[in-house]
Amino acid sequence: MTCDKGEAPRLVEHRPLRDIFKFKTHPYVMLGSACSGKTNLCCEILKEFGPECNDNNIHYLTGYMDDHPPYLNPVPKKYRVKGTLENLINIWTNIRNSRDEFDNYDNKSLLIIDELNCIYNDSERSKRKIAYNGELCYSNNVFKRTMNDILIAGRHFNVLICIAAYDISLVNDKLIIGDLIFMSNNVVTKYVMSRRNPDDLRHELEGIAEHVFKNEPRHTFIGLDTINNKFYTGRCELKGNDPVNKFKELVSRLKSENGILRSENSVLKRKIQDIEALISEAMI
């Protein structure tokens, strides 16, 4: 549904992931707060589009390389790359160079940055010098130049690029963003306050968000095609990283530890059963 703020919702197209995410197009920027579902969506994109790529062309940049947090379990370790600026530069350089190595561009690549804040913080904290395009530059400047190059040139390669971030300010130029994905209401508020778009478009986004994040099923997100100024909605089906599932995982772990199920503590058993009932309700 879409609407201006305070008005009744009008129809907005709901798209399956296959109709939203494409190879050979502008990078997708996914904005959301912690536990808003960014990693879930990244994992689902990997599951949906990874089989179209060779293993060595799949790159999932993350701050976590081991089995924790558990919501990264859908990402095989062979695809995980430590989320550092140097690794991002190397991957992007290889994707760029692949254009010279192949006569045809059927060789697809998948680049998922989950999340950009890790790489940004890494570049800002150290402000070290890095070799970039034949010269030594400070890491924070290299970060900006690399991101601009990915956003501008990404559509010229047979690659699907997804960038998850807390804040749009890490993405430097709104004119080179193709699709923005809003995962939570607070990032919509920030975006609207930034005054990056005409008033009518921002007011329409507020109205859509007011409806979607209150009334639509969990993990529904809002997309904005910034090229055509068109809104749509989508939904992530992987639900491992929301608070309800975290409680579910905790209950499962409690029940399996040290024979809790065999315990005579009926009060503890009852509390676990109550939590499980609440989880079942919330998942509907």
- Alpha carbons within 13 A on the beta-carbon side of 277: 6
CATH number of the domain at 17-235, out of 2.115.10, 3.40.50, 1.10.3470, 1.10.287?
A: 3.40.50
The two structure tokens encoding residue 23: 């190879």
Contact 189, 139 (CB under 8 A): no
Q: Are 179 and 17 in contact (CB under 8 A)?
A: no
Element (DSSP H or E) covering residue 261: none
Rounded-to-integer distance, Cα 93 and Cα 175, Å: 23
Return the biggest CA–CA distance within the chain.
70
In tens, the pLDDT along 38-80 reads 999 999 999 999 999 999 999 999 988 766 667 788 899 899 9
Question: pLDDT at position 192, please?
Answer: 86
Residues 6 or more apart whose Cβ sits within 8 Å of residue 43? 71, 72, 74, 75, 238, 240
Task: Report residues of the chain scoring pLDDT below 70.
Answer: 1-11, 66-69, 99-106, 172-176, 195-196, 238-284
Structure tokens at 111: 């680049």
Dihedral, CA of residue 26, residue 27, residue 28 and residue 32, to nearest 10: -140
SS3 content of the chain, % helix, strand, coil (to 5): 50, 20, 30
Q: Residue ranges per domain, the chain? A: 17-235, 243-283
Distance of CA 181 to the CA centre of its chain: 8
Phi-psi group of 198: left, alpha or beta (phi > 0 → left; psi -120 to 50 → alpha; rest → beta): beta
What confidence tens digit (pLDDT) does each residue in 227-247 have? 888 999 999 876 554 444 555
